[in-house]
Amino acid sequence: AVRDFDGNLHIIPNSKVMNSTVINGKNGTWRRGSLYIELSAQTTPDQLESFQEVVKAAIEAPTKARRCEFGICRMTITDMGFSWRTTFYVNDPQGVDAQDIMDLESVCLVEAVRALREGGYQLANLDRAEAPRVL
């Protein structure tokens, strides 16, 4: 079974796979990247609700060398706050390789952190840095 970028599941019989040429989509025109951001436990409900919009705007900012498209955000609660996993997609007719995605993950993460800080969000790592240490 193979799942496409739209999430549709395609079931291919073994007999067709064994007698066919398989093309590696990893070096294709579409690739997915992920960002991991953890917000402070002091984050307000309004900030949690607007997180997705803030990060989407940062990811899709027109200043990037390649156009990134926002995917999804998923939140989990951690001991220090709220951890978000955000995905984005890149489509380039010349192809997108793993190094391109790693570079874009870094660029998108910096832009997202900048936008969150400007919006008054506090990252959980700042809480960790200021937490009392037990020796």
pLDDT at 82 over 90: yes
Q: Does residue 112 surpass a pLDDT of 90?
A: yes
**Where residue 22 falls among pLDDT bands split at 50, 70, 90?**
low
Residue 26 has pLDDT above 60, yes or no: no
Task: Please state, rounded to an integer, the average pLDDT across all residues of the chain.
Answer: 84
The candidate with the shortest Cα–Cα distance to 53, out of 131, 127, 122, 121, is: 121
Query: Between the CA of residue 19 and those of 22, 32, 80, what are the distances in Å?
Result: 9, 29, 52
User: What is the C-alpha to C-alpha distance for residues 76 and 51, in angstroms, rounded to an integer?
Assistant: 13
Q: What is the pTM of this model?
A: 0.71
The stretch 55-76 carries a mean pLDDT of 86
Q: Which amino acid is at 96?
A: V
pLDDT at 90 over 70: yes
Question: How does residue 7 score in pLDDT terms, banded at 50, 70 and 90?
Answer: confident
Q: Give the residue from 92, 89, 47 showing the smallest Cα distance to 72.
A: 89
- Token readout for 20 is 């066919």
Angle between helices 45-59 and 98-118 (to 10 degrees): 140
